[in-house]
Amino acid sequence: MTTKYTPDHEWINIEDHEAAVVGITHHAQDALGDVVFVDLPEVGKTFAKGEIAGVVESVKAAADLFMPVNGEVVEVNEALRAEPALANTDPLGNGWFFKVRVSNMADFDELMDPPAYDALLKTL
Amino acid sequence: MVPFGGYDMPVQYAGGIMAEHKHTRTAAGLFDVSHMGQVVLQGADAAAALETLMPVDVIDLPMLKQRYGLFTNANGGLLDDLMITRRPDDIFVIVNAGCKVQDIAHMQAQIGTRCEVIPQPERALLALQGPQAVIALSRLNPEVAKLTFMTGGFFSLDGIETFLTRSGYTGEDGFEISVANAEAVALARKLLAQPEVKPIGLGARDTLRLEAGLCLYGHDINTETTPIEASITWAIQKVRRAGGARAGGYPGAAVIDKQLLEGATRKRVGLISTERVPVREGAKIVDADGKELGIVTSGSLGPTVNQPVALAYLATSHTAVGAQVFALVRDKRVAMTVTTTPFTPHRYYRG
């Protein structure tokens, strides 16, 4: 199991824990609608789990992007900055937001696995 | 669905706000705006009576012509904005959903003895907007194509009786159609069956009117803003201004006439940015030194303009077209330029 989910509808893929990939889920992009702007964190900056690391804005709303684990940002998706609609068209792929070096694997273990996230979606 | 003016309204349909916005600008969009208040004023004195509530020429409004109106308070602030149409047997008024209860009470209290104020909750309102609206609607009755902007008439649309005007809230050509509730769904289905027409939600209605530079009551105008501050002095005809034949005689006339003469200390303007970050309602506007100049009252990325656009109240010193200001978004400065509105040209059909 390399992908987990947060209650804020973000996903994190930890295939490479030196550069775990973070994005928003299908549900999040669908709720936001047309994404027109993303504010991405600075590379090299360290965040605590739950801290606001960026912002994603659609025509109708602005939503905070939370850091899913404690860690340091090692890369941001410049393609997404140039074409924010990637967050709608390919949220789990080319629409990723940033990569993070995970400082504590226990943070990852605490997140929801796919069945748990699916169960959360069913309650909405 | 979201709560709006006491109704559950769709923000968007399947296509999303951006697609709905662009569809309305290129083809035709159908909006259910039945939440708005429809009221008729009956009696020989109705036009003169309505004039006592606003700085607007109602008496000289020609038959089947429509005009923008403003209810004012004693301070010259705006209680609501509305559309007024003179019809053979009455004055037909459309007011905002969120204001309709108080508007009706206001009219009944102030002019209820001079004319009959009759709310029409039994009628729905559909807006068909966009450059192809006339093509679609003409299939139901070709006569509608003869109307020009801000005129109206009674039309049977494929057997359904309506009163409609060539007007709207998008900056595009289009129609607003008043129809009995009982026949509204059937009419909506007939319109949606036209190949040009798609349903459009509240989200695109807001971005369309914003690009068209049109005020949203409760946001861009309210009881604290005068028509001069709101930059809608064009709605005040000469005949109602100081020196005119029917000057004054409405709430707040002294304040409004003084401001018409001397100007106001703040004014509503359009702002456009070359950056990408949307500047939204509530964002503060500052000058290069960080001195506060005013506040954004509506703002979004304009889907047609493809740039962030906003309406804002600014200190009059910084309202000249081309003035450079900064919006504060999450404590960061976003450069913006004062610009003329509409942001997208109006494309009304004037004949």
> Region B233-258: what's the mean pLDDT?
98
- Domains contained in chain A, number: 1
pLDDT of B5 strictly over 80: no
> Region B238-253: what's the mean pLDDT?
98
Which CATH code of 3.40.50.1010, 3.90.700.10, 3.30.70.270, 3.30.1360.120 fits the domain covering B2-210? 3.30.1360.120
- CB-based contact (8 Å) between B330 and chain A? yes
What pLDDT score was predicted for residue B86?
98
> Region B86-109: what's the mean pLDDT?
98
Q: Is residue A9 part of a domain?
A: yes
What share of chain A in percent tops pLDDT 90?
A: 95
- Is B12 in Cβ contact with A33 (below 8 Å)? yes
Nearest by CB to B18, which of A39, A59, A62? Answer: A59
What pLDDT score was predicted for residue B276?
94
**SS3 assignment for chain B:** CEEECCEEECCCCCCCHHHHHHHHHHCEEEEECCCCEEEEEECCCHHHHHHCCCCCCCCCCCCCEEEEEEEECCCCCEEEEEEEEECCCCEEEEECHHHHHHHHHHHHHHHCCCCEEEECCCEEEEEEECCCHHHHHHCCCHHHHHCCCCEEEEEEECCEEEEEECCCCCCECEEEEEEEHHHHHHHHHHHHCCCCEEECCHHHHHHHHHHCCCCCECCCECCCCCCCCCCCHHHCCHHHCCCCCCCCCCCCHHHHHHHHHHCCCEEEEEEECCCCCCCCCCCEEECCCCCEEEEEEEEEEECCCCEEEEEEEEEHHHCCCCCEEEEEECCEEEEEEEECCCCCCCECCCC
What pLDDT score was predicted for residue B4?
79
DSSP bridge pairs for A5: A11, A112
Which residues span the domain enclosing A42? 3-103+113-119
The per-residue pLDDT for range B184-217, each reduced to its tens digit, is 999 999 999 999 999 999 999 999 999 999 999 9
Ranges of each domain in chain B: 2-210
- CB-based contact (8 Å) between A59 and chain B? yes
What pLDDT score was predicted for residue B1?
80
pLDDT of A1 strictly over 90: no
Nearest by CB to B11, which of A39, A55, A60? Answer: A60
The mean predicted confidence, pLDDT, of chain B is: 97
Look up the CATH number of the domain holding residue A18: 2.40.50.100
- CB-based contact (8 Å) between A57 and chain B? yes
What pLDDT score was predicted for residue B108?
98
How distant is the Cα of B301 from the closest Cα of chain A, in angstroms? 6
Question: CB of B295 within 8 A of CB of B196?
Answer: no
Q: Is residue A76 part of a domain?
A: yes
Scanning B33-92 for CB atoms below 8 A from A yields: none
What pLDDT score was predicted for residue B2?
81
The per-residue pLDDT for range B13-40, each reduced to its tens digit, is 988 999 999 999 999 999 999 999 999 9
DSSP bridge pairs for B80: B71
Q: Is residue A124 part of a domain?
A: no
The per-residue pLDDT for range B291-336, each reduced to its tens digit, is 999 999 999 999 999 999 999 999 999 999 999 999 999 989 999 9
The per-residue pLDDT for range A76-124, each reduced to its tens digit, is 999 999 999 999 999 999 999 999 999 899 999 999 999 999 999 999 8
- CB-based contact (8 Å) between A72 and chain B? no
pLDDT of B88 strictly over 90: yes
